[in-house]
Amino acid sequence: MVTEVIKTNELHKIDPVFGQMSFDNHEQIVFCNDKDTGLKAIIGIHNTVLGPALGGTRMWNYTSEWEALNDVLRLSRGMTYKSAITGLNLGGGKAVLIGDAKTQKTPELMLKFGEFVHSLGGKYITAEDVGMATSDMDLVRTVTPYVTGISESKGGAGNPSPVTAYGVFMGMKAAAKYKFGSDILEDKVIYVQGIGNVGEALVENLSNEGAKVYIADINQDRLEEVRDKYSVNIYGGDNIYAEEMDIYAPCALGATVNDFTINQLSTKIIAGAANNQLAEEQKHGKMLRERGIVYAPDFLINAGGIINVYAELENYDRKEIMRKTENIYNTTLEILKKADADNITTHQAAFNVAQARIDARKNEK
């Protein structure tokens, strides 16, 4: 990678970290580098008022360091509010590894990353995210206890994705109840964008309920595999946003609700697993509200995964995990109603509840 050295007399124009829009009073940002393994990672610790900052590690082939930094800042902030609204005693953190998970993720690199996590003494606890598998967390566990999402055979709660998908399914049902008066998804036209770990498990829940499911992904093999397994339809068009549908479920990467897509959207509900679906929370939240599209806040309905990994820290069982995840239905319905009553966006309504919990704890201290 060729990097230009910024001249010191130009530095003031850049404000590379604290000046970023996505920098929202993060407590700590850790840049990790290891020449031998090629590790380049950023750990973002947004807020630890409620507890240690827990959030997954994402490995992605970012086009620039700016993109990686922006991603980790947005993701770690999201974790703060996700844990807060879910009632967990956790703060918000996240890590990104810069590189292609398929070709650059080696055991040595993961171990080195684990050492960096360990050096933070438990202030940040990691788990899996895009580009990571349970086996990677098992490896990290050999160098630090500050990791969750490890396999069941090693005492962990296993892959969180099916639990995340179940929570999204619950949130989607609540949004349907609010919008259509019934939470039955049979015959509803639902587009699932991204059929990875969470997307596939969501498709399973939806097809069991008899929804008319369309799937989209950049991976053709995966599309065929999931279509054959659940008898769903592969989306063959080139602009998913403009398709007439009841529910759009973004389950790939974030920011798909943005200036380019929002006016094309022809859906009644947005409910999916991807983090940070709104490119700009205030602006795009408002635009969705004006257009009458019900948005089930991502950080609220995709909390099943964090509930699952939290169980590893608190030693609660599968039944309790599923009970807490099922409760996403009730919380979502409350938030949608509250947004209406207060005439604010659903994102803002969820955010306010989460922030109030953080503020209350801060005042207790």
Q: Give the residue numbers marked as catalytic.
A: 94
87 annotated ligand-binding residue: no
Annotate 282-317 with three-state secondary structure.
HHHHHHHHHCCCEECCHHHHCCHHHHHHHHHHHCCC
**Nearest-approach distance from CB 105 to ligand NAD, in angstroms:** 13
195 annotated ligand-binding residue: yes
Give the tokens for residue 80. 């703060």
For residue 25, the one-letter residue type is: N
353 annotated ligand-binding residue: no
**Nearest-approach distance from CB 54 to ligand NAD, in angstroms:** 12
> What 3-state class would DSSP assign to 127?
coil
Cβ pair 209, 234 in contact under 8 A: no
Specify the DSSP class assigned to residue 97. E
**Nearest-approach distance from CB 231 to ligand NAD, in angstroms:** 19
**d(Cα 340, Cα 262) in Å, to the nearest integer?**
21
Is 78 a residue that touches ligand NAD (CB under 6 A)?
no
Is 189 a residue that touches ligand NAD (CB under 6 A)?
no
Encoded one letter per residue, x for contact with ligand NAD by CB under 6 A and - for no contact, window 289-328 reads: -------------x--x-----------------------
Is 199 a residue that touches ligand NAD (CB under 6 A)?
yes
> Of 12-20, 34-42, 271-279, 332-340, which segment contacts ligand NAD by CB under 6 A?
271-279
Is 251 a residue that touches ligand NAD (CB under 6 A)?
yes
Report which of 183, 182, 185, 220 is spatially closest to residue 202, judged by C-alpha positions.
185
Region 142-171 residues binding ligand NAD, contact defined as CB under 6 A: 160-161, 164
**Nearest-approach distance from CB 362 to ligand NAD, in angstroms:** 26
> Of 15-23, 35-43, 84-92, 187-195, which segment contacts ligand NAD by CB under 6 A?
187-195
Considering the complex, state which of residue 195 and residue 232 has its C-beta at the smaller distance from ligand NAD. Answer: 195
Cβ pair 57, 113 in contact under 8 A: yes
Q: For residue 66, count CB atoms less than 10 angstroms from its CB and return exposed for 0-12, middle for 13-18, buried for 19 or more.
A: exposed
Please list, in sequence order, all residues whose beta carbon lies within 8 angstroms of the beta carbon of residue 38, skipping any fewer than 6 positions away: 99, 104, 109
Is 218 a residue that touches ligand NAD (CB under 6 A)?
yes
Member of 156, 158, 194, 285 binding ligand NAD (CB under 6 A): 194
Please list, in sequence order, all residues whose beta carbon lies within 8 angstroms of the beta carbon of residue 306, skipping any fewer than 6 positions away: 54, 55, 79, 82, 83, 86, 88, 90, 127, 160
Member of 17, 234, 242, 253 binding ligand NAD (CB under 6 A): 253
276 annotated ligand-binding residue: no
Residues in a beta bridge with 96: 42, 58
> Of 4-12, 251-259, 260-268, 322-330, which segment contacts ligand NAD by CB under 6 A?
251-259
For residue 132, the one-letter residue type is: M
Helix %, strand %, coil % for the chain, to 5? 45, 15, 40
Considering the complex, state which of residue 130 and residue 300 has its C-beta at the smaller distance from ligand NAD. Answer: 130
Binding site for ligand NAD (CB under 6 A): 129-130, 160-161, 164, 193-199, 216-219, 222, 251-253, 273-275, 302, 305
